[in-house]
Structure 1
Amino acid sequence: MLQITDLHAEIDGKPILKGLSLSINAGEVHAIMGPNGAGKSTLGYTLSGRPGYEVTGGSATFDGRDLLALLPHERAAAGLFLGFQYPVEIPGVSNLQFLRTALNAQRRLRGEAELSGGEFLKIARAQANTLGVDMEMLKRPVNVGFSGGEKKRNEMVQMGIIDPRLAILDETDSGLDIDALRTVGHGINTIMRRPDKAVLLITHYQRLLDYVKPDYVHVLAAGRIVRSGGPELALELEREGYVGVAA
């Protein structure tokens, strides 16, 4: 599904990714762990096409297409979803309005018919019910006045409605209490644990992996993946820290 080969990227002329290679197949969950400044968020932003992140070498293909040649909205329509560490607030725009607009924009780009208001609400209610989110929350402006846990639960509903093929989740466990973490883990498993989908979890800690069992764990240090293994590698990182494991 996703094939990254010798990827190099920089921000404001400063190299961050320095030859990163990674392969993710459909049906797999991969976790990337690493110290601050290793390039974890940069990887997510580069793959999603965020402005300011310049690719200087290597390649990335998604379902056989040159991902790096696509504009950000084209990457989203192709099935790529980026979950933010710090979801932004959008005053004056309700979650329902935002999500219906985003979903129909993607459907138009794929040549699919737009959803009517009734059709969209049916999908939104189903996703909200699955994740235990009150529909009143979706009528509020996007993330305005939300707690950290509410923002992340809201993002899980967004992911369920958009229904991507590949979800890149950037420290989605950041700032969550135990209950919110459990809800987010349930959302990821419910929405993305399917044979035709895949997940790339970017995290510092093992705790999210207690709820979302990864198939593979990778250590990212100094812009490259320096070790890969199974779920046991995350436990080793918890015990030993990054210094010994990433050396």
Structure 2
Amino acid sequence: MWAPPLADAPLRIRGLTKWFGDKQALDELSLDVPAGSCFGLVGPNGSGKSTTVRSIVGLVRPDGGSIEVCGHDVGTDTQGARAATGVVLDPLQLFERLTAREFVRTMGDLRGLDDEVSSGRADQLFVALQLIDDADRPISGYSHGMRKKTALAAALLHRPRLLLLDEPFEGVDPVSARTMRSMLDRFRSGGGTVVLSSHVMDLVERLCDHIGVIHQGRVVATGTTEELRRGRRLEDVFIDVVGATDSDTTSLDWLG
């Protein structure tokens, strides 16, 4: 699906292609993410969402195409692109034996932050994420929601311009989810941009002001949430766009 390029897009993807053996995961996928947006990346299982996210952060090497993060080409200026990006992947990438404070400050060291700056920001993030009372406990004893908040703190510590979130609220209780959403609002109010990959249409509909639908490795629909919905539920629009049909359950009459 072609769309005119945006003048100000912290994430630009052009012609992204990826094969895993004889299976094509990405088929010349192209996408622009508007600055300051909360951009929902949605698609069926196996559509290419996770491959796209992992290509952006350099964990997957595409077979073709290009990715720019805040003007930095991921293929030729990996360090510049990574410096502009924060990421929370699913499954989470945490060091279980460390405390949250140790883990986040270690991420600050890897990002080249001054110790004093890293420590001050970490404490501020822990307070805002309601994690300060548990910051010195090992991550191995954390609930799933606490782990997610720890990962979000580490992703925000270096003040990235682009934040990539893969299923950030999966398995998170409502209180933790509300706290995390508040943090994302604060991040965007400072000029940050969020790309959120999720299967949960109600969540995407509530949080995201722009949406891109991926199907069979291509972007098949993109625009503002209101443009795509046109008064309908996002779930219904999604099903129409990807051509899904209801399952035939007539042979399961014994379940009734």
TMscore range, shorter length: 0.7 to 0.9
8 A Cα contact 1:10 1:54, kept in partner: no
Asked if residue 82 in structure 1 is aligned to residue 87 in structure 2, the reply is yes
8 A Cα contact 1:17 1:222, kept in partner: yes
Larger % of strand: which?
Answer: 1
Q: 1:87 deviation in Å?
A: 1.2
Asked if residue 21 in structure 1 is aligned to residue 30 in structure 2, the reply is yes
8 A Cα contact 2:104 2:153, kept in partner: no
Q: 1:225 to 1:24 in 2, by over 3 A?
A: same
Alpha-carbon distance in structure 1 between the residues aligned to 2:101 and 2:173: 26
Letter in 1 for 2:31: L
1:125 partner SS: helix
- Name 1:48's counterpart in structure 2: 57
Deviations 1:111-135 (A, max 9, x none): xxx423x44322212111222222x
8 A Cα contact 1:148 1:176, kept in partner: yes
Q: 1:66 deviation in Å?
A: 1.4
Alpha-carbon distance in structure 2 between the residues aligned to 1:87 and 1:69: 27
- Name 2:143's counterpart in structure 1: 147
Percent of aligned pairs with the same residue?
26
Alpha-carbon distance in structure 2 between the residues aligned to 1:70 and 1:144: 35
Alpha-carbon distance in structure 1 between the residues aligned to 2:120 and 2:61: 40
Structure 1 length as normaliser, TM-score?
0.83
Q: 1:81 to 1:10 in 2, by over 3 A?
A: farther
Q: 1:33 to 1:60 in 2, by over 3 A?
A: same
8 A Cα contact 1:44 1:82, kept in partner: no
Asked if residue 122 in structure 1 is aligned to residue 120 in structure 2, the reply is yes
Q: 1:148 to 1:211 in 2, by over 3 A?
A: farther
Q: How does 1:65-104 map to 2 (within 5 A)?
A: 65-71=72-78, 75-77=81-83, 79-104=84-109
Letter in 2 for 1:139: D
- Name 1:138's counterpart in structure 2: 135
Asked if residue 216 in structure 1 is aligned to residue 210 in structure 2, the reply is yes
Asked if residue 204 in structure 1 is aligned to residue 211 in structure 2, the reply is no
Alpha-carbon distance in structure 2 between the residues aligned to 1:34 and 1:205: 10
RMSD: 2.3
- Name 2:152's counterpart in structure 1: 156
Deviations 1:151-206 (A, max 9, x none): 112222223323211011001121123222212211211223332x2111111113
Q: 1:210 to 1:218 in 2, by over 3 A?
A: closer
1:68 partner SS: coil
8 A Cα contact 1:237 1:245, kept in partner: no
2:19 partner SS: strand
Alpha-carbon distance in structure 2 between the residues aligned to 1:210 and 1:225: 18
Gaps of 5+ in 1: 108-113
8 A Cα contact 2:198 2:204, kept in partner: no
Letter in 2 for 1:115: D
Letter in 1 for 2:203: L
- Name 2:254's counterpart in structure 1: none
Letter in 2 for 1:129: V
Structure showing greater radius of gyration is 2
Q: 1:91 to 1:216 in 2, by over 3 A?
A: closer
8 A Cα contact 2:202 2:234, kept in partner: no
